A = this chain, B = another copy of it.
Amino acid sequence: MRNLRNSVQLIGNVGSAPEVKAFDSGRVKATCSIATNSSYKNQKGEKIEETQWHNLVFWGKLAEVVSEYVKKGNEIAIEGKLIHRAYDGPKGEKRYITEITVNDMMMLGGKKR
């Protein structure tokens, strides 16, 4: 039932080469960020460009695909789950991060890319 309760879809460009980490358990994790661009007109009629950066996390088979094929600048589409979590910073303070655990990924634009 996960998909219906918490689902995110993004189409955007990858900000840098994915980081890949293999755990002792054999599990593989890949992370990258993706920019989604939109534009709108403000009250003065000026066109405003707005970019949002999102943190993506891929696991298992999908992480392997990402580590092999996804390059900086590629346009991709993803579907995932929105996660907010806390972790301890270097000085012991609480830090918060929002990530999308990706369930599905497509590379867009055909083989040229």
Is A69's CB within 8 Å of the partner chain B? no
Cβ of A79 < 8 Å from any Cβ of B?
yes
Prevailing SS type, chain A contact patch: strand
How many chain A residues touch B (CB < 8 A): the figure is: 36
Q: Verify A77–B3 contact, CB threshold 8 A.
A: no
Neighbour of A77 across the interface among B12, B77, B103, B110, CB < 8 A = B77
Known contacts: A4-B77, A11-B4, A11-B77. The answer to whether A82 contacts B106 by CB under 8 A is: no
For the complex, is A104 an interface residue (Cβ under 8 Å from B)? yes
Any B CB within 8 A of the CB of A16: no
Residues of B with C-beta under 8 A to A12 = 5-6
| Chain A residues close to B by CB (< 8 Å) | 1-12, 36-38, 52-54, 75, 77-79, 82-84, 96, 98, 103-106, 108-110, 112-113
